[in-house]
Every structure is written in C-alpha cells, then in structure tokens.
Amino acid sequence: MSVRMYQLTVDTHDLPSLARFWCAVLDWKVLFEDEEEIVIGADPSALPGMCFVPVPDAKTSKTRLHIDLAPDDQEAEVERIIGLGARRVDIGQGEVTWVVLADPEGNEFCVLSPKNSLVD
C-alpha cells in the first residue's frame, strides 16, 4: 500500500480572505474556488495543497494540528508574515527557537529556524 499527503483542510469563516493570506505566505495560488471550498497550491500537480471550507462556529481553543514553516531567514519571514496579517501569540511555548504566530482567523502556526532535514 502506498499513500501520500494530498492536502490540509482548514475550517474558516472567510474562505477568500484566509485562502489568499496563505497564498501570500507560501507564494502559492488559488487553484479552485467556489462558495463551498477554495483549494490553493504551488501548482495543480504539486502535492500537498490546502483546502479552505466554511464552518459556522468560531475557533475556541488551541489548534491541535498546525503548520511549521522553515524559512531561509526566520526574522525576515516573521516580519513579512506579520505584515500580511498574522500576529504573534503566546501558547505557553516559553523560550524556544521558533516563533508562534496566528493567521487572521487565529490558527496557530510556527516559523522555525532554517531547516534542511526533517530531523535537523
């Protein structure tokens, strides 16, 4: 049996806004859009992608699954992403080498120090 990650699905109140935020963060583009979902990715054949779907309820607790981003320059990327609409958040991480941010709808994600390997 073989399996690979296809996409990460994100619940949201404002599909276009959040999808476009993540397009700007990842330098991806909208690949499909209707009122029930927006799919973004680097390219239609480049996996994985992200899919944004509408939900009526607001986020109420810490996100249990989050995205880790590995930039070439952590400080520059943190500032760029904050400029796109993210904000710094404290989830009790203490003194760590990564920066915890939240997207415009409050979903936490981390900006790591530069990485070249999954076990780096």
Distance from C-alpha of 13 to C-alpha of 42, rounded to nearest angstrom: 23
- 54: β partners: 12
Q: Choose which CATH entry (3.40.50.150, 3.40.50.20, 3.10.180.10, 3.40.720.10) describes domain 66-120.
A: 3.10.180.10
Residue 91 has pLDDT above 90, yes or no: no
pLDDT band at 63 (very low <50, low <70, confident <90, very high): confident
Distance from C-alpha of 8 to C-alpha of 56, rounded to nearest angstrom: 19
Which residue is it, tokens 């986020």? 59
- Reported as type and span, the H/E element at residue 21 is helix 15-26
CATH topology of domain 1-56: 2,3-Dihydroxybiphenyl 1,2-Dioxygenase; domain 1 (3.10.180)
Looking at the chain, which residues constitute the CATH 3.10.180.10 domain(s)? 1-56, 66-120
pLDDT tens by residue, 16-61:
999 999 999 999 999 999 999 999 999 999 999 999 999 988 777 7
